[in-house]
Structure 1
Amino acid sequence: MRAMQRRFAVLFVFIGSLALLAPGVFAVELAPGAPQTYVVRPGDTLWGIAGRFLRDPWRWSEVWRANPGVENPNLIYPGDVLELVMIDGRPVIGRADGRGGPRVVKLSPQVRSEAISAPVPIIRIGSIAPFLTQPYVADSDDIKRAFYVVGFPDEHIVAGVNDEIYVRKIRSSDVTQFQVLRPGDPLRDPDTNELLGYEAAFVANAALERTGDPAKLRVTRMEREVAIGDRVIPAAAEQPLVDFLPRPAPAQMRGRILSVMNGVSQIGQFDVVIINRGSRDGLEPGHVFEVFVGGEKARDQVRAGIANNDWLMESPFSSEFWLGRDYDFKGWRADEPSRDASFPLNPGYRRDKAEYVKPFERAGVLMVFRVFDRVSFGLILNTSRALQVGDWIAAPPS
């Protein structure tokens, strides 16, 4: 009985020790030199502010203490004073005044109280602004059913700003603003080969002038000239990016980078990419992934004989001198010296294990900002090396 009591006592102490260690083990780590207070300035972004305080900015939602009684307590405005405090050994960040009332803006030589209507954005809107209202990814069925440019009133080959275009079968005037898209390459899942959609290049904006078949539209803005066959869809409303907090993507989720916008070959900071995960996978704007490079095969130069450094130690009378190490006999090579030879004269050798697989290395951080059914747009927030299409993404460790 006493032995059992001692075992229970030891178990209780062990569990108690884990409870004491847990806050330290799983605590959010502060960034080196994290400030005790910070005054939010015009031009700041939530991601940049989070990076001042935290080593992993996407864990901001775990430490942010929203002010009660404020209409949207997660919004941060220029002039807010953010304060870092420790509660039960854990970092907590909140507004220093805790009131959430009108912000004070100092204008020398006068001082006045003024409510600032524009909150701090999550990320720099300029990097992604074109992708908020221009779809760029079209579902395969939608793009087939979309209206399309069939011709021009003035026998033009292409159309530019203020030119008129004919579009098939717009019979309603409920929508008057349209976007012109040019379907591009298909987006396929690199692992399953599933067709996820089509990368659609933005061509122009156009306004409806007359319904019918064909309807007549006028080009109001363009990035490239409108051509016959371009698709026409209703213009999307701008989507704000101030209503979510950066947070880790769903645990254990992995994916791949399918494409990078703007025609670059290597992906760097603030480039916009398309990934093969979307709303059907549970993704939402604000989800953060880590980007990894590696996993591909590379040549083992030592086993391949390129980087052998002991060839002088081998005798010319040994097979290793001529064939190298790790070669396996794979049979006789046919058709040598000629196809008409009665017997193949040359043996076939192949070096064994002349490749290795590069380990995965963390190389960047990506945040999703616009989600479709099967794909999403993400912004590369930082990188430690050049990224490429096909690189892997994974949810950060929680």
Structure 2
Amino acid sequence: MLMHKTFRLGALAALLLSVAAFANAAQGWERIRSDAPERYVVVKGDTLWGIAARFLQNPWQWPSLWEANPQIRNPHLIYPGDTLVLRDCAGAPCFALETGQPVVKLSPRVRTIEPREAVLALPMDVVEVFLRQHRFLEAGRALGELGYVVGGENQRFISGAGDTLYVRGELPSGVPLGFYRPGEPYLSFSGEVLGQELVFIGEARLIDQQGEIARVEALSARQEVRNDDIVIALDDRVEGDFQPRAPQAEVAGHIIAAPGGVRFIGRLQVVAIDLGTQDGLQPGHVLRVDQQGELINDPRTSELFQLPNTEGGLLMVFKPYSRMSYALVMQASNVLAVGDEVRTPKP
């Protein structure tokens, strides 16, 4: 009798496990777009986000579909010419990679293989241009710590491209320099100062350094270079893993600025948000944008009430600071605005 009861319990457990496995597999296939191709050949100009968006309802879920492909150590390393194949792995969707062959050039003396550049996660040209022209000084770091213009040749107070200027402060050698001017402070949604934007004025190069006084040449200038403008190294570096993914923890914040004075925010524009590394954000983290529902009057009761929030788009963090991050708008179903909420996307 006990053996029979144990058998029934074991069969019930197996049934529940099979039902759970079926539910997980079904949920996995729900991630796939109805028009997703079975095979896709990667072409030059593709981005990892763009490829993921061809297959998935939610592109940030891309990493989870590589679990059945242990031979692929890093989804970054996808190259033009590679073929992605959507397969069924034990009832759940997964991707397989058929590696394309590099181009081989033959000649009587030399056999060379063309170098291949891996597909990037997002349009890095947009990000690099932004980072060269926008800098952020975190709260607690004084402007006085940075090099600054003290004058131009022949006692000029205003200089332009081709002019030589004097800078007080030690400057790095062998790297491009930039002129910047303090801009607007960045405030959290609650009004707390997070830091200050530095506005790009132009580019410079170091001529020589004698003690704490450096001589620089202005290579370009969007506007006149003035005394007290800041001189620091240009920074277009983007560090970190840009594999699109959701933050591990639930986070919530707001869009606090649209650098460059942009009023209407759309796809491939940059925003500043009041979340940073202290909130667990890393490069590649994806956040959804929630827009506040409209206030309307009930036609029967004349009661004023607010409609539910709606999802307006998706952001990818590319430059996190301690309490603030720059993020690129990857999708926008509506025009986004300063004040919109950002949070961990739904599974």
**Fold-level similarity (TM above 0.5):** yes
> Residue 103 of structure 1 contacts residue 113 of structure 1 at CA under 8 Å; is this kept in 2?
no
Q: Which residue of 1 aligns with 2:217?
A: 218
Superposed, 1:234-245 pairs within 5 Å as: 234-236=233-235, 238-239=237-238, 243-245=241-243
Q: Which residue of 1 aligns with 2:315?
A: 366
Note closer, same or farther for the CA distance 1:48–1:390 as it changes in structure 2 (3 Å cut). Answer: same
Q: Which runs of 4+ in 1 moved over 4 A?
A: 4-11, 13-16, 104-107, 172-176
Q: CA RMSD in A?
A: 3.1
Q: Which residue of 1 aligns with 2:58?
A: 56
Q: Give the Cα–Cα distance (whole angstroms) in 2 for the partners of residues 105 and 244 of structure 1.
A: 30
Q: Give the Cα–Cα distance (whole angstroms) in 2 for the partners of residues 368 and 69 of structure 1.
A: 24
SS at match of 1:206: strand
Count of residues in correspondence between the two structures: 337
Q: Which residue of 2 aligns with 1:92?
A: 94
Superposed, 1:100-119 pairs within 5 Å as: 102-104=101-103, 114-119=113-118
1:85-119, Cα deviation, whole Å (9 max, x unpaired): 1101111112125xx7x424799xxxx98443321
Q: Give the Cα–Cα distance (whole angstroms) in 1 for the partners of residues 17 and 81 of structure 2.
A: 45
Superposed, 1:107-256 pairs within 5 Å as: 114-140=113-139, 141-170=141-170, 174=173, 177-191=176-190, 193-211=191-209, 212-236=211-235, 238-239=237-238, 243-256=241-254
* 2:306 pairs with one of 338, 349, 357: 357
> Residue 76 of structure 2 contacts residue 121 of structure 2 at CA under 8 Å; is this kept in 1?
no
Q: Give the Cα–Cα distance (whole angstroms) in 2 for the partners of residues 169 and 206 of structure 1.
A: 15
1:184-226, Cα deviation, whole Å (9 max, x unpaired): 11111113x3221111111122222232444221112333322
SS at match of 1:256: strand
> Residue 179 of structure 2 contacts residue 225 of structure 2 at CA under 8 Å; is this kept in 1?
yes
1:290 counterpart = 2:288: yes
Offset, 1:268: 0.8
Q: Give the Cα–Cα distance (whole angstroms) in 2 for the partners of residues 80 and 273 of structure 1.
A: 33
Quote the sequence identity (%). Answer: 34
1:287-325, Cα deviation, whole Å (9 max, x unpaired): 1011110067x3x445xxxx67xxxxxxxxxxxxxxxx8
Q: Which residue of 1 aligns with 2:78?
A: 76
Note closer, same or farther for the CA distance 1:81–1:158 as it changes in structure 2 (3 Å cut). Answer: same
Q: Which residue of 1 aligns with 2:327?
A: 378
After TM superposition, the score normalised by the length of structure 2 is 0.85
Structure 2 letter corresponding to 1:161: A
Superposed, 1:317-356 pairs within 5 Å as: 355-356=304-305
1:272 counterpart = 2:275: no
1:396 counterpart = 2:345: yes
Q: Give the Cα–Cα distance (whole angstroms) in 2 for the partners of residues 251 and 84 of structure 1.
A: 29
Note closer, same or farther for the CA distance 1:385–1:135 as it changes in structure 2 (3 Å cut). Answer: closer
User: In terms of Rg, which structure is larger?
Assistant: 1
